[in-house]
Amino acid sequence: AQSVTQPDIHITVSEGASLELRCNYSYGATPYLFWYVQSPGQGLQLLLKYFSGDTLVQGIKGFEAEFKRSQSSFNLRKPSVHWSDAAEYFCAVGTQGGSEKLVFGKGTKLTVNP
């Protein structure tokens, strides 16, 4: 069965610093991978996705992620964090088949210090 691990429950960075959020997945076939962001009390917003092709994908809000098959990882990065990036971030892996179900990690909460 598919699974996603986000090893860091909570990360704190200073505004302007770089950011990397870790995500490891378990899936037998070629995965469909996603990163979502959630502000408190809100729904989830899709940041970026990887389906195939170039392993470095660009998303909204200046985020990027790199797919590394050998490490079963899909880490999210941003070169310079803004205070508005404070939120919870979820990595997800999509399943094969018509249901298009996603399996989510437990999330990483990002705090940005001024």
User: What are the phi and psi torsion angles at 3 (to 5°)?
Assistant: -150, 155
- Name which of 10 and 69 has its Cβ closer to other proteins: 10
Number of residues that bind other proteins (CB under 8 A): 24
- Is 77 an interacting residue with respect to other proteins (CB under 8 A)? no
Stretch touching other proteins by CB under 8 A, among 19-27, 41-49, 61-69, 72-80: 41-49
19 close to 77: Cβ distance less than 8 angstroms = yes
- Is 61 an interacting residue with respect to other proteins (CB under 8 A)? no
Measure the CA–CA gap between 103 and 27, rounded to whole angstroms: 10
- Name which of 10 and 17 has its Cβ closer to other proteins: 10
- CA dihedral (82, 66, 102, 62) positive or negative: positive
- Is 30 an interacting residue with respect to other proteins (CB under 8 A)? no
45 close to 38: Cβ distance less than 8 angstroms = yes
Name the minimum Å distance from CB 14 to other proteins: 25
- Name which of 7 and 79 has its Cβ closer to other proteins: 7
C-alpha count within 13 angstroms, C-beta hemisphere, residue 92? 19
Q: Which spans of this chain sit near other proteins (rule: CB under 8 A)? A: 9, 32, 34, 36, 41-46, 49, 51, 90, 94, 98-107
